[in-house]
Structure 1
Amino acid sequence: MERVTLRIPKQQIEEVERMVETGEYPNRSEAIRAAVRDMINEDNSERRDKKRPWARA
């Protein structure tokens, strides 16, 4: 796994921390990894639908 440094607005980090505190995620890193996975999966789904417009129904 590679380390990535990024800047995130304080309000968003506070929301991530809240998800960690409530047990939704074990830590901030896993919460952010989940968000990236969701973004990639959504993008892949949109690309797949564009290739097969009939699959939207």
Structure 2
Amino acid sequence: MERVTLRIPEQQIDEVEQMVERGKFPNRSEAIRSAVREMIDEHTDKTGAKSWAKV
């Protein structure tokens, strides 16, 4: 797995931390990975084509 560094507003990190504390995710990294997976799923049609990809 590759490491990615990014900046996120403190309020959003606080919300992620709250989800971790409530047990929705085991840690912040998994919460962020889950969000990325959801974003990719939202932008992928049934054929597997990415909606943002240029053809």
Provide the TM-score with structure 2 as the length reference: 0.81
Gaps of 5+ in 2: none
Letter of the structure 1 residue corresponding to residue 28 of structure 2: R
SS at match of 1:8: coil
Q: In the aligned structure 1, how far is the partner of 2:42 from the partner of 2:34? A: 12
The equivalent of 2:38 in structure 1 is 38
More helix by share: 1
Task: Give the share of equivalent positions with the same residue, in percent.
Answer: 67
SS at match of 2:43: helix
Q: CA deviation at 1:45?
A: 3.1
Q: CA deviation at 1:26?
A: 0.1
Gaps of 5+ in 1: 51-57
